[in-house]
Structure 1
Amino acid sequence: MGLPPFLRNVLIGIPIGITYLDTVGYVARVEGISMQPALNPNLEEVDYVYLNRWAIRGYKIERGDIISFSSPKFPKQKLIKRIVGVPGDIVNTIGYKTEFVQVPEGHCWVEGDHTGHSMDSNTFGPISLGLVTAKATCIVWPPSRWQVLNPMIREHRIPLNILRSSVA
């Protein structure tokens, strides 16, 4: 005598669902103002983003990507910030213990778009790529904000080594 179809479907569906969430991605609510204006541009509506775990396989991240990562200070806390510097980049910091930082191998420099209202690398330094959990690829809610999140960095935050090479 076999399992009832409903129970069989649940027993098959749950592991598939968990595997999808752990491997491919999930939707998450964005809290706070640190990523304004890109995310949560007004306080009346909260953005929900698709966090793509698949996109970071092999740590394929680039300057301007918005990523989710575990906070180096509070590991249970997930943060969403923009990558400003990748390994080898020289970043002009904002209130960090040194004015310039060269991002070490295996790390990246992340900042919130709302300068001065963000707990980011200017607080805790470069983060290990091992802390990165996903890349935010699009806003999925509210419908009025549906959009793909393309990599971009505001001109005044471009790493110094990139600025120098584009001028030369």
Structure 2
Amino acid sequence: MAQSQGWVRRYFKAFCKGFFVAVPVAVTFLDRVACVARVEGASMQPSLNPGGSQSSDVVLLNHWKVRNFEVQRGDIVSLVSPKNPEQKIIKRVIALEGDIVKTMGHKNRYVKVPRGHIWVEGDHHGHSFDSNSFGPVSLGLLHAHATHILWPPERWQKLESVLPPERLLVQSAAE
């Protein structure tokens, strides 16, 4: 009897040591490096969720890439919603700070993106709550860069950073 209690005690002790090492490592990895997220809604169709409400894509979110606010036009990013801080939204970066963008339904026809901000839009215009509704977004709201579709398996692919042809800039900050 004492021998079986010793085995249980050793097992429990080893489990606790492993648990108290693994949990902080896993939490740090998910918070600082990468995680996965399910994309809901139609705002990013056809890039994400092309099947409509019948399917939800699961994407890999890379936190590491946005840690220094290094984003490019065309990147698909996850960010904290400017209207509801408890919600994360996923959109495509259309313009960077200093760029002049022709808006689609915003109160101003043309907007110069201020320093420290980006202009984001969903790919499915008219079905997206994006910068056309709330204006330029602070870089501080960036959460992650969506890099790959992981689910469903038939849609496994790397997400490309491309601007839709109809969303070319009026003037780039580089000009």
Q: TM-score range by the shorter chain?
A: over 0.9
Which of 98, 120, 126 does residue 130 from structure 2 map onto?
A: 120
Report the alpha carbon displacement of residue 158 of structure 1 after superposing the two structures with TM.
1.2
Which residue matches 2:147? 137
Equivalences for residues 62-77 of structure 1 within 5 A: 62-77=72-87
CA RMSD between the two structures: 1.3
Amino acid at match of 2:70: K
Stretches of 4+ moved more than 4 A in 1? none
Shift of 1:45: 2.0
1:12-69 Cα offsets, whole Å, 9 max, x none, are: 1000011001100100000000000000001222100001000112111000000000
5+ long unaligned stretches in structure 1: none
**1:17 aligned residue (26, 40, 49):** 26
2: CA distance, partners of 1:139 / 1:59 = 22
1:4 aligns with 2:26: no
SS of equivalent to 2:68: helix
Equivalent-residue separation in structure 1 for 2:102 and 2:14 (angstroms): 60
Partner of 1:154: 164
The answer as to 2:107 corresponding to 1:97 is: yes
Structure 2 residue runs of 5 or longer lacking an equivalent are 1-8
Find out whether 1:34 has 2:43 as its counterpart.
yes
Q: TM-score, normalised by structure 2?
A: 0.90
Q: Distance in 2 between matches of 1:6 and 1:143?
A: 34
Q: Count the aligned residue pairs.
A: 163
Q: TM-score, normalised by structure 1?
A: 0.94
Distance 1:128 1:122 in 2: 14
Letter of the structure 1 residue corresponding to residue 29 of structure 2 = Y
Which of 64, 84, 88 in structure 2 is aligned with 1:78?
88
Q: Give the 3-state SS of the residue equivalent to 2:97 in structure 1.
A: coil
3-state SS of paired residue (2:17): helix
